[in-house]
A and B are shown apart, each in its own frame.
Chain A
Amino acid sequence: MKPAPFEYVKPSSVDDALTVLTEGADDTQPIAGGQSLTATLNMRLSAPVRLVDLNGLEELRGITDAGGVVRIGALTRYRDLEQSDLVADHLPLIKKTLPLIAHPAIRNRGTLGGSIAFADPAAEMPACVTALNGAIEITGLNGVRKVAAGDFFKGLYETDLQSGELITAIELPKAAPGSRFAIQEFARRHGDYAMAGLVAAAQVDGATVSDIALVFFAMGGTPVAASSAAAKIAGKAIDADAIASAQAALDDDLDPFDDTQCSAAMKKHLARVLTDRVLTELAGG
């Protein structure tokens, strides 16, 4: 199918973009990489009157060292993240995750801000940003606010972003010494959206685990923090018993629903397998 007609504007400053978005309200939609939005326009799942192309906003591009955090402009593409030394040095989880997202031609255009704004429940980046305790910087005509990732994802494709606002940056804490990260997923084809996936971030001191976050994706409407399972591991070494007790706790944490790729029962099964694999990966360094 072909998209419904729309008007196209390409502002050259964030202020101009916010003005157009605010005036246009719900009829106006920003487009970043277009790797999710263009597909929905082609299928006429959405038909905005006006598209605001963010690609002229150079101020939203780039990856910078901001002390304890790495600041990533919303318009930064997956391709830029793949090539960044700052990401390689300080954000090992992001580095590990990028190859799992779609395919090279899509990573050449898709942006981090777009992925966070779109909030697909099966997407990797929302789960990574949640596991890392990242912050989302949101800008509107009234000013700038920062929202913790854990508070940003509200429901299925629903976020804290209000009409007329843009995500302008994502801030991710640098990996501390002794921190370890793992990600595993099941997808039907390499690069496809996951049927189920799990991200882990932890401090490992000797063999003892602390500060562990386990965040599932494609396991509900938002990234799902499995806090009961994580509590079974905290303060312990990762061994077969610890893994089994974490798996047993998953029922308290997870309540997935069927999607087009996978039934809820299958997701719960995959969650156990992922827990084993991710914890084993963490234990292995």
Chain B
Amino acid sequence: MTETARLPEVEVSLTVNGERVTRRIEPRMTLVDFLRLELELTGSHVGCEHGVCGACTVRVDDEIVRGCLMFAVQADGTNVVTIEGLADGGSEDDLLEAFRERNAVQCGFCTPGMVMTASDLLARYPSASRDEIREFLSGNYCRCTGYQAIVDAIEKVSQSRAGGGR
């Protein structure tokens, strides 16, 4: 087998948290590595790198995806929102506060992915039951196993948003 020569880099141009960015990268760079290494947005975490843990969850064109199962080159032309953008946006302050209040953050490794997923859940199914919340979060691992507190926090936000109590 011959060693693969260094392959040409490709240019990608996308919007990340509202800002247009352009970089030259190797096609093999995953979206989450691009965000962390090229843009220094280290809020998205890298756990398993095969889609199982959910720590790398980001939003691409309004849909949550695994940042480790998409190459940055495939995100050319898209609109990406990371946990940094979500937190700065202000619209999810109640969700972040509920996580803090309910102690749904322990070591914090899973938290960015949990919050990205929870935010998508609340937008798509505003009145989800506890079982539905659990099902929606089934693809996100919390190795500190604080699932109960995480479900509590999301349920509380869902109820207070429904009651207009934002």
Same complex:
yes
- Chain A residues within CB distance 8 Å of chain B: 1-8, 34-35, 38-39, 41-43, 49, 51, 53, 55, 79, 99, 102-106, 108-109, 189-191
Given A103-B54, A105-B65, A5:B6 Cβ within 8 A: yes
List 27 contacting pairs A-B, 8 Å CB cutoff, sorted by A: A2-B33, A5-B6, A5-B7, A5-B27, A7-B7, A7-B8, A7-B27, A8-B10, A8-B73, A34-B74, A39-B49, A39-B51, A43-B49, A51-B27, A99-B135, A102-B139, A103-B136, A103-B139, A104-B64, A104-B136, A105-B54, A105-B65, A106-B139, A109-B65, A109-B69, A190-B134, A191-B135
CB distance from A57 to the nearest CB of B (A): 14
A145 to B140, CA, bound (A): 40
Which of A35, A51, A53 contacts B51 (CB under 8 A)?
A35
Within 8 A of A (CB), among B115-157: 117, 120-121, 134-136, 138-140
Assess the A39–B69 pair: CB atoms within 8 A. yes
Chain B residues with Cβ under 8 A from A53's Cβ? 74
Q: Is B109 an interface residue (CB 8 A)?
A: no
Evaluate contact between B28 and A108: CB separation under 8 angstroms.
no
Not counting A42-B30, A103-B139, A190-B135, a sample of 18 additional A-B residue pairs whose C-beta atoms are within 8 angstroms of each other reads: A2-B28, A2-B30, A5-B6, A8-B27, A8-B71, A8-B73, A34-B74, A41-B28, A42-B50, A42-B68, A55-B74, A79-B63, A103-B136, A104-B136, A105-B54, A109-B69, A109-B70, A191-B139
Residues of A within 8 Å of B69, CB to CB, are 34-35, 38-39, 106, 109
Query: Is B26 located at the chain interface by the 8 A CB criterion?
Result: yes
Given contacts A105-B139, A106-B139, contact A38 B68 (CB under 8 A): yes
B10 close to A105 (CB less than 8 A): no
Mark contacts of B1-26 with chain A using CB atoms, 8 A cut-off: 1 yes-contact digit, 0 otherwise.
00010111010000000000000001
The contact of B66 among A51, A79, A106, by CB within 8 Å, is A106
B158 within 8 A of A: no
- B111 close to A (CB within 8 Å): no
Q: Which of B42-71 contact A (CB under 8 A)?
A: 49-51, 54, 57, 63-66, 68-71
In the bound complex, how far is the Cα of B140 from the Cα of A104, in angstroms?
10
Q: Is the CB of A34 within 8 A of B27?
A: no
Min CB–CB distance B107 → chain A (angstroms): 21
Complex CA gap A8/B79 in Å reads 21
Are B7 and A105 neighbours in the complex by a CB distance under 8 Å? no
Which single residue of chain B is at the shortest CB-CB distance from A189? B138
**A105 in contact with B27 (CB, 8 Å):** no
Q: Which residue of A lies closest to B27 (CB)?
A: A8
A4 and B3 alpha carbons, distance in the complex (Å): 11
* Nearest CB in chain A: distance from B104 CB, A: 19
Q: Which of A34, A79, A190 sits near B71, CB closer than 8 Å?
A: A34
CA distance A7 to B6 in the complex (A): 10
Contacts known (A5-B26, A5-B28, A109-B65); A104 close to B51, Cβ less than 8 A: no
